[in-house]
């Protein structure tokens, strides 16, 4: 009798183990990724590339569906959704993310980087890595950085100097630090979600906005605002993040899956960077042929703008001042 009971116990243990393994093998995650840029924009293309890599390297166990065009909401809504687990991945401009995690402000100060290579030395190094892990403090996991070039002003009327900015109403992202940066030039600012900027420009509710060239081109903002003043006042890199809920689900599949996701995200970051360079040049050529008027400030004018915006640095003291020095010396 004892033997029989022992045999039954062993058999039932074996059976339950097999059942457990079987269940694990069948596990399959479908996760959602949001981007507010259109289908053929570098960031959205890179998101699809990320999804394809993950699918292939996990043998289809992690299936990431990419929703571009702001289909799942504007950046602010997506950030809130991702914090509460309603969304799994998203790409955010630091202009949005830093409103929720102000330590990031330091990375978007006016004229902080001498050029794009300088910014990449910072983001590819320890400073960039530290920020990717620190955003965990607001409940998201930083995966990689995307390029978003330098931002400049574009307006419904020609501008060519600092004086021309005075009294203009300029749209900025939903972030007070960006309002104060732009007001340091004497302009008035209004915070409007990205998806509503075209109509605000078209209806004359604002005199202008500021963004990188590919965004200006893809959104059609050049139609109502055809004067582009290439002052390149700041660079707002972008971060791809993952929700805590998605991270936990992936961990349940196994820690090796989390590593695959991280590695594919890093590769998609490099891919986006390459696409970005190409797209910046293409956008410039296309905009020129469409009659956009580009004004390149002289070195002196650029220097006056830089000095006017320097007041923003006064708020960055203590630890931040040290970090600014570190960034500048990279
Ligand atoms: C860039 C960025 C967007 C952001 C937009 C904005 O285009 O890629 O993610 O929403 O700037 O100005 O709001």
* Predicted structure pTM score: 0.92
- pLDDT exceeds cutoff 70 at 1: no
Q: Note the CATH number of domain 150-235+283-328.
A: 3.40.190.170
Low-confidence winner among 19-28, 39-48, 52-61, 152-161 (lowest mean pLDDT):
19-28
Cα(306) to centroid(ligand 1), Å: 22
* pLDDT exceeds cutoff 90 at 20: no
How far away, in angstroms, is 247 Cα from ligand 1 center?
Answer: 26
On the question of a common fold for 27-148+237-281 and 150-235+283-328, the answer reads yes
- Give 26's pLDDT tier (boundaries 50, 70, 90): confident
Average pLDDT over every residue of 227-256: 98
Write out pLDDT tens, residues 162-184: 999 999 999 999 999 999 999 99
Nearest residue CA, atom 10 of ligand 1? 194
List of long-range contacts for 300-305, beta carbons under 8 Å, 24+ apart = 301/160, 301/161, 301/162, 302/231, 304/161, 304/162, 305/162, 305/185, 305/231, 305/233
Residue 25: band (very low, low, confident or very high) from pLDDT cuts 50, 70, 90: low
pLDDT average, residue stretch 10-34:
63
Query: Is pLDDT above 60 for 73?
Result: yes
pLDDT band at 318 (very low <50, low <70, confident <90, very high): confident
What residue ranges line ligand 1, CB within 6 angstroms?
36-37, 75, 93, 148, 173, 194, 211, 215, 238
Q: Which residues of 288-312 are buried (b: 16+ CB within 10 A; e: fewer)?
A: eeeebeebebeeebbebbeebbeeb
Over residues 26-48, the mean pLDDT reads 96
Domains of the chain by residue range: 27-148+237-281, 150-235+283-328
With both helix axes pointing from N to C terminus, report the angle between 116-124 and 126-134 in degrees, rounded to the nearest 10.
Answer: 60
Give the pLDDT of residue 27.
86
Task: Say what percent of the chain tops pLDDT 70.
Answer: 92
Nearest CA owner, ligand 1 atom 2: 93
Kindly give the distance from the C-alpha atom of residue 28 to the centroid of ligand 1, in angstroms, as a whole number.
32
| Å from CA of 212 to ligand 1 middle | 8
Q: Which of 33, 35, 36, 46 for a ligand 1 pocket mutation test, highest count of atoms within 8 Å of Cβ? A: 36
- Predicted confidence at residue 291, as pLDDT, reads 98
Predicted local confidence at residue 14, as pLDDT: 45
Residue nearest to atom 3 of ligand 1 (CA): 93
CATH pick for 27-148+237-281 out of 3.40.190.170, 3.40.30.10, 3.30.70.270, 1.10.10.410: 3.40.190.170
Mutate which of 98, 147, 148 to test ligand 1's pocket (most atoms within 8 Å of Cβ)?
A: 148
Q: Nearest residue CA, atom 7 of ligand 1?
A: 215
**In this prediction, what percent of the chain has a pLDDT beyond 90?**
90
- pLDDT average, residue stretch 260-281: 98
Pairing mode, strands 169-172 and 150-155: unpaired
Copy the structure tokens of residue 31.
């996760």
- φ/ψ of residue 71, rounded to 5: -60, -30
Residue with tokens 């900027």: 197
* Tens-place pLDDT, residues 93-106: 999 999 999 999 99
250, containing H or E segment? helix 244-253
When the pLDDT of each residue in the chain is averaged and rounded to a whole number, the result is: 93
Using the atom order of ligand 1, give the atom closest to the CA of residue 209: 12
Is the pLDDT at 260 greater than 70? The verdict is yes
Residue 120 burial by CB count (10 A; 0-12/13-18/19+): exposed, middle or buried? middle
Q: What is the layout of strands, in order, in the sheet containing 188-191?
A: 188-191, 169-172, 208-211, 150-155, 227-235, 293-295
């Amino acid at each position: 009798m004892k033997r029989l009971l022992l045999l039954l116990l062993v058999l039932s243990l074996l059976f339950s183990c097999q059942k457990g393994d079987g269940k694990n093998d069948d596990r399959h995650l479908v996760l959602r990724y949001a981007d507010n840029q259109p289908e053929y924009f570098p960031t959205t293309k890179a998101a699809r590339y990320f999804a394809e890599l993950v699918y292939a390297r996990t043998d289809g166990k992690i299936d990431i569906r990419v929703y571009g065009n702001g289909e799942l909401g504007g950046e602010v809504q997506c950030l809130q959704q991702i914090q509460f687990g309603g969304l799994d991945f998203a790409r955010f401009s630091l202009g949005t993310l830093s409103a929720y995690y102000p330590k990031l402000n330091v990375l978007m100060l006016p004229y902080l980087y001498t050029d794009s290579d300088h910014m990449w030395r910072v983001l590819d190094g320890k400073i960039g890595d530290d920020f990717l892990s620190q955003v965990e403090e607001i409940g998201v996991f930083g995966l990689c950085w995307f390029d978003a070039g330098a931002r400049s002003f574009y307006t419904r009327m020609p501008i060519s100097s600092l004086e021309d900015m005075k009294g203009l109403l300029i749209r900025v992202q939903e972030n007070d630090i960006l309002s104060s940066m732009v007001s340091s030039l004497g302009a008035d600012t209004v915070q409007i979600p990205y998806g509503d900027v075209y109509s605000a420009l078209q209806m004359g509710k604002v005199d202008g906005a500021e963004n990188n060239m590919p965004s200006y081109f893809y959104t059609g903002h050049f139609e109502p605002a055809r004067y582009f003043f290439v002052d390149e006042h700041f660079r707002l890199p972008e971060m791809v993040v993952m929700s805590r809920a998605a991270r936990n689900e992936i961990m349940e599949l196994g820690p090796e899956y989390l590593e695959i996701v991280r590695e594919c995200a890093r590769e998609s970051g490099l891919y986006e960077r390459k696409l970005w360079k190409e797209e910046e040049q293409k956008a410039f050529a296309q905009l020129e042929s469409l009659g956009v008027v580009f004004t390149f400030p002289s070195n002196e004018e650029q220097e006056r703008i830089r000095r006017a915006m320097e007041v923003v640095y006064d708020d960055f003291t203590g630890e931040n001042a040290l970090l600014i020095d570190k960034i500048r010396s990279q």
